[in-house]
Amino acid sequence: MTDNFFDIVAARFPADADTSFIELESGRRYSYGDLMEISGRYARLLTGLGVAKGDRVAVQVEKSPEAVFLYLACLRAGAAYLPLNTAYTKAEVGYFLGDAEPKVFVCTPASEAALAETARAAGVGALLTLGGDGDGSLAERAAGLDPAFDTVPCAADDLAAILYTSGTTGRSKGAMLSHRNLSSNAATLHRIWGFRPDDVLLHALPIFHTHGLFVATNCVLMNGSGMLFLPRFDADAVFRLLPRATVMMGVPTFYTRLLADPRLTPAAAAHMRLFISGSAPLLADTHREFRERTGHAILERYGMTETGMLTSNPLDGDRIPGTVGFPLPKVSVRVADEKTGEPVPDGDVGVLEVKGPNVFSGYWRMPEKTAQEIRPGGWFITGDVGRIDARGYVHIIGRAKDLVISGGFNVYPKEVETVIDAIDGVVESAVIGIPHPDFGEAVMAVVLKRPRRAGGTVDEAAVIGACKEQLANFKVPKAVAFVDELPRNAMGKVQKALLRETYKDRFGR
């Protein structure tokens, strides 16, 4: 057996090839035998197209079982799997193809005509299509091929995938992930989250992102068990499937949507063993309400595209609302001064730096960026601001680039958000810095309140009043806006850059 991540999981697949791997809402089922055969055919097709070890295969397709088999086929062929967010436009896809120079690009049948020229201009060798129902030229061309395929041996350091970061500032960067990065993280998560042979995972996340692909899918592969696969989060479907599932992984918005539904009861969640949340901060209130409504304490964890998962609340032990738990086994987390990189005193706030077998080797063709973000000793600068409390729990305070500097004073948005979120009638808030003629930046609060009928009578005076009572004056918002919805990306992260842009002229140009 080699260090190819596929070999590692395949060695653990169930002896009975008929064991279910993916089941769709329609009832359609794919077994581990199907996984071996379809990924084998796809791998044969890719190598037939000249894909060799280390070649990139870029993929922008709808979520489907076949898309998972394509991911596995890339691993088997020794290629680097490069999934792209389905929301990316033609221009964005053009950038990724030009940057990564994939040998093969797989898009949907519907976007083939629009992307053919883009792919040709980027020098892509072959363009294939894959539809949401498993249709398209990839499947057609693979159909007659021999499913037996010898997985290409790979070393632990060989490239397994490139995931582009969401790129909220500047160009999106391709994080290079090795077979070791994937296997070390999957083995750890599988163990610490106590996966059992009969676990069934409810999968409603996108699979172009580390959460749905490497956390959720790889845990299932490590476990050799099955998942109920939804194209996207849909509360009706989730309530239908919860009685058959035991584990769900979600972003915080999944949980707030479930909480908004009267069907969320202890009975609805009775079959579940574990609810996990990540990719964006889970409000402490959401954690508490979910526990009151279902008896389940959501297990919150923290990670990034570049590092896989880094910390997790414990399976056995206190899952503390508002914290992301302890560093994972073999993962080191330290809190450092942003400028000097020196570790700060215990308990102080600083930038989180991490090290471990899960941490990526660098950004694709960006050695300078890599050098800026990975210190010579191997510590990767996450850009997340946080602290570690006396019990060892990690708290995330925000992104370093979201820090507001008003009149020369540092304001951590999370501190102000916590005060505002505690006001009766407030659902959630996002605190940002906007240009201000006197202060450089002014603190601004964008607030989502409960509908009036549900007691949402909060106004600007109430927000300012609560902040004045609890915070130093320079942290008190100089502007407050009320919105019906906070803008979020596909992973449920509040898009602060968008809010800063929206309100940038509030105090004049």
| Contact set with ligand AMP (CB under 6 A) | 165-166, 210, 278-281, 300, 302-305, 324, 382, 384, 396, 399, 491
Question: Which DSSP helix (H) or strand (E) runs through 160?
Answer: strand 159-164
Exposed/middle/buried for residue 366 (C-beta within 10 Å: 0-12, 13-18, 19+): middle
Question: How would you list the strands of the sheet with 350-355, edge to edge?
Answer: 332-336, 350-355, 380-388, 394-399
Q: Which is nearer to ligand AMP, 175 or 467 (CB)?
A: 175
Query: At its nearest, how many Å lie between ligand AMP and the CB of residue 216?
Result: 13
> Among residues 137 and 168, whose Cβ is nearest to ligand AMP?
168
At closest approach, how far in Å is the CB of 212 from ligand AMP? 11
Nearer to ligand AMP, 470 or 489 (CB): 489
Q: How far is the CB of 172 from ligand AMP (least distance, A)?
A: 11
Structure tokens at 80: 């680097």
Measured CA to CA, the distance from residue 457 to residue 453 in angstroms comes to 9
- The least CB distance from residue 311 to ligand AMP, in Å, is 8
Q: How far is the CB of 188 from ligand AMP (least distance, A)?
A: 16
Nearer to ligand AMP, 34 or 306 (CB): 306
Sheet of strand 200-203: strand arrangement: 29-31, 20-24, 226-229, 200-203, 247-250, 274-277, 299-304, 308-312, 326-327
Chain Cα centroid distance, residue 140? 32
Nearer to ligand AMP, 303 or 321 (CB): 303
| Shorter beta-carbon distance to ligand AMP: residue 43 or 416 | 416
- Tokens for 460? 């600007």
Closest CB to ligand AMP among residues 55, 384:
384
Q: How many CB atoms lie within 10 A of CB 369?
A: 15
* Nearest residue to the partner ligand AMP, using Cβ: 305
Nearer to ligand AMP by Cβ, of 178 and 210: the residue is: 210
By beta-carbon proximity to ligand AMP, the closer residue of 404 and 458 is 404
Is there a contact between 398 and 412 (Cβ–Cβ < 8 Å)?
Answer: yes
- Taking the complex as a whole, the smallest distance from the CB of residue 282 to ligand AMP amounts, in Å, to 6
In whole angstroms, how close is the CB of 428 to ligand AMP at the nearest point? 14
The CA distance from 43 to 26, in Å, is: 27
CA distance 385 to 49: 45
Name the residue among 233, 249, 239, 237 with its Cα closest to residue 200. 249
In the complex, least distance from residue 277 CB atom to ligand AMP, rounded to whole angstroms: 7
- The amino acid at 334: R
How many CA atoms are closer than 13 Å to the CA of 246, on its beta-carbon side?
12
Shortest gap between Cβ of 303 and ligand AMP (angstroms)? Answer: 6
Nearer to ligand AMP by Cβ, of 166 and 361: the residue is: 166
| CB 393, min distance to ligand AMP, A | 12
* Three-class secondary structure of residue 35 per DSSP: helix
Please report how close the Cβ of residue 163 comes to ligand AMP at its closest, in angstroms.
8
φ, ψ of residue 355 in degrees (nearest 5): -150, 145
28 vs 401 by CB, closer to ligand AMP:
401
Calpha distance 248→6 (Å, rounded): 23
3-state secondary structure of 504: coil
DSSP 267-294: TTTTT-SEEEE-SSPPPHHHHHHHHHHH
CA dihedral 107, 111, 115, 117 (to 10 degrees): 120
Min dist. Cβ of residue 333 to ligand AMP (A): 12
Residue 380 CB, shortest distance to ligand AMP, in Å, is: 11
HSE-up of residue 305 (Cα within 13 Å, Cβ side): 22
Measured from the CB atom, the residue of 78 and 303 that comes closer to ligand AMP is 303
Nearer to ligand AMP, 165 or 502 (CB): 165
Give the 3-state DSSP-derived string for 370-420, with helices as H, strands as E and coil as C: HHHHECCCCCEEEEEEEEECCCCCEEEEEEHHHCEEECCEEECHHHHHHHH
Burial class (CB in 10 A: 0-12, 13-18, 19+), 472: exposed
